[in-house]
Each structure stands twice: as C-alpha cells, then as structure tokens.
Structure 1
Amino acid sequence: MTNILQKYIAEKAIPLVIYLINEHKVNLKIVHQRQTKHGDFRTLPDGRTQITVNNNLNKHQFLLTLVHEIAHHVTHKKFGRVQPHGKEWKTIFQHLMLPFLQPEIYPPKILPYLANYLKNPKASTDADVNLSLALREGMAESGKSFIFEIPNECIFQYKNTLYKRGVKRRTRYECLNLSNNRVYLFNQNVEVLYIEQ
C-alpha cells in the first residue's frame, strides 16, 4: 500500500492515511479521471463499501479528496443514512483532516485556505475558489484556462459547448451559451478551452 500511496500523496501523510484505511477498513480504488467528480463513496450490492479517487489529481487534491471520502465512509458506519454533507459528515471530516494540517504535508501557501475551508466544508473543494486555485497552484490543466483568465466578450468551450464570457457578478461570471442564447453562471476557477479569435 505504501508504494502505491507514494505516487499520490505527500510522504509524511502516508502513515496517517494507512492508519485511516486500516482502522476504518476502507476499500480504496484509484480510477481514471472523471469529469464531474474527484472521488466518491458508495455501498456495493453485497453490503461492502468502496471509495474511489481520480488518478489525475495532484498530491494535495488527492489527499483532501481521499479524506473527504473516508469521512463519508465513517459517517455511514456511525450514523447510517444522513445528509451526505450534513453536520455529521462535516464534524467527522474536520476531525479526520486535522492531523494533516501541517507544513510537511500541505505547503504554507495552501494551509490558510485549507484551514478556512474546514471551518464549514462544502460538498466540493471546487466551491471554495481560493482553496481550489491554491490546490492547483494557480495552474489550469494543460491547454486550458480558468474562466477569470478569459477576456470579456471572448469565446470559450466547456463540455463541447461554446460560450461567450460576460461580466463578473459577486463571485461568478455570466456566460452566454451560444447554442441556446441562455446565460449561465460559472465559478471563476472552472477550466475551459479558450478559443482564439
């Protein structure tokens, strides 16, 4: 297990992760990238549970996603069916993440954003723009751009659909879908393909 985890998380985090996996009898599966999620927790038909995490995440994202999903597992075992990201899950997730909040595991430039996020964790780390950008070290996937990097009134592609970037509201950008002429709101950290004009 150590050899596999070395590829995906910081070395200092490995003993803590192995402890969590063994303590909670976690069935972990590392899978290819999925567009809509970084990881998930599910109960299999035979009653066993399984956690999956995408293999394309960097070490900081992978660890946070793994602990997020282990928190679902522990919440399920302890409380049964409750709100997926309700108060029970939040408390367990905060408790499980606490030992990882150290500079040998998360760099000092990420720690303040992570600590702030953990005060009231959301269903997705991508919902916290500052944390999301810090975890990605301010860099979009190769060949892509963040919405906030696209000039106003310029065209971009997202999920095979063309949009024109509009003005920023408080935290999100209005973007015109060019195929149906509807306006959609995009978080500023969404990765898109900028179409040069």
Structure 2
Amino acid sequence: MIQQLSPFLPSKSIHLVEEILTNNPIEIKIVNQRATKHGDFKRTLQGRYLITINNSLNKYQFLLTLIHEIAHFTTYKKYRNVKPHGIEWKRNFQHLMLPFIQPEIYPLDILPHLANYLKNPKASTGSDVNLTRALLKYNANSTKNYIFEIEQNSIFVYNKKTYKKGKKRRTRFECLELKSKKLYLFNQNAEVELIKEI
C-alpha cells in the first residue's frame, strides 16, 4: 500500500504514514479528481472499509486528506455511530496529524495555518481560507482558481456551466448562472475556471 501512496506524499512523511497504516490496515484507492470532494471514507456493501483520494491534490493536501480519512476509519472502528465530524473524529484527526506538524514535512508557510486549523478542524479544509491559500501555492500548473480569489462580476465556468460572481453572504458567494438566470450560492473555496476577470 505504501508504495502506491509514496509518489503522492512528502518524502519525510512516508515512514509515519506506513506506521499508521500498519496499525490501521485499510484499502486506499487513488482516483481521478472529483469536483465536490478531495477524499472520502466508506464501508462497502461487502463490509470492507475503503478510502478514496483524488490524484490531483498536491502532496501536502494529499497527506492532510489521507489523515482526515484515516481519522474517519479509526473513529468508526472505536465508536461506530457518532457524528462524522464530531468531537471523537476531531480528537482522532488531531492525534493522527500531530507527528506531521514539523518543517521536515510541511513548508514553513503552511505550518502556522495548519496548526491553527487543527485547533478545531472542520469537515472540509476548504472552510479555512488561510490554509487553502497556503496549500494552493503548491499546486503545479493549475488552471483553476478558488472563487474567493477572483474579482466580483468575473465570469467563470463550474461543472460546464457559466456563472457571474456576485456579492458575498457570510461564507458563500451569490453567483448568477448566465443561461438560466438563476442565482446559486458557492462555497468560498469552490474551484472554478476563470474566463474573464472584470
């Protein structure tokens, strides 16, 4: 398993990941990018446990997503039916991530934002704009932008539909779908393809 994962991980994290997987054997599949999630954990109909992670993530986000999903697995094994991102998961995630919070693994411009996020981790790393920005710097040749980065009234494509970015409502942006003229709310960290900056 670790041989399959190694190309996607920071090199100094590999032995730590291997240690975790030795204690928590689970099937992991690396899949093509999905628009709505970086990874997931599920119990299959056959009773197996499976983690899937997008192959498009940079190595720092891949590691964070992997540990996030392993924390779901360890939480499920220990508690069974608790809230997916409740206090039990938060504690497991923090405990599993702690050995990785070091400059040999994460760059110095990511570490403070990662440490801050881990004080009270949310369901999505995308909920933390500062951490998202720090991780984004390490994406190679990405053609995508996060919606919070682009100017108001900019035109962008998301899921093959064209939108115009509108005003911000707390943590989401109002965006007009140009063909139907319907208004949609976008998470501030939705990845979009910019067509025209206003």
Compute the TM-score of the two structures, normalised by the length of structure 1.
Answer: 0.90
SS of the aligned residue for 1:30 comes to strand
Structure 1 pair 155–134 and aligned structure 2 pair: CA distance change class (3 A) = same
1-structure distance, mates of 2:103, 2:6: 17
How far off its partner does 1:37 sit?
1.2
Call closer, same or farther: CA 1:101–1:63 in 2, change over 3 Å.
Answer: same
- Per-residue deviation, 1:2: 4.2
Over aligned residue pairs, what C-alpha RMSD do you find? 2.1
| Cα shift readout 1:113-162 (whole Å, capped 9, x = no counterpart) | 11111111111111111111211217696333332443332321111222
Partner of 1:107: 107
Residue aligning to 2:159 = 159
TM-score, normalised with respect to structure 2: 0.89
Cα separation, partners in 2 of 1:128 and 1:141, compared to 1, 3 Å: farther
1:95 maps to which residue? Answer: 95
2:125·2:132 contact (CA, 8 Å) conserved in 1? yes
Aligned residues: 197
Q: Partners in 1 of 2:146 and 2:30 — Cα distance? A: 26
Q: Structure 2 vs 1, CA of residues 138 and 185 (structure 1 numbering), >3 Å: closer, same or farther?
A: farther
Q: Structure 2 CA distance, aligned partners of 1:90 and 1:63?
A: 16
- Identity among equivalent positions (%) equals 57
Contact 2:57 2:139 in 1 (8 A): no
Partner of 1:21: 21
Judge conservation of contact 2:58–2:139 (CA < 8 Å) in 1.
no
Tell me the amino acid that sits aligned with residue 173 of structure 1. F
Structure 1, 116-125 or 164-173: larger mean CA deviation: 164-173
Q: Which runs of 5+ in 2 are unaligned?
A: none
- Give the equivalent residue in structure 2 for 1:117: 117
1:169 CA drift (Å): 4.3
**Residue 79 of structure 2 aligns with which residue?**
79
Q: 1:85 to 1:137 in 2, by over 3 A?
A: same
- The CA deviation string for residues 80-138 of structure 1, in whole angstroms up to 9 with x for no partner, is 11111111111111111011100011111001111111111111111111111211217
**In 2, distance between residues paired with 1:129 and 1:168?**
14
On the 8 A contact 1:177/1:183 being kept in 2, the answer is yes
Residue 30 of structure 2 aligns with which residue? 30
Match of 2:133 in 1: 133
Distance in 1 between residues matched to 2:160 and 2:83, nearest whole Å: 33
| Paired residues of 1:153 and 1:165 also in contact (CA < 8 A) | yes
2:180 corresponds to: 180
Name the structure 1 match of 2:10: 10
Contact 2:58–2:140 (Cα < 8 Å) also in 1: no
- Which moved further from structure 2: 103-112 or 146-155? 146-155
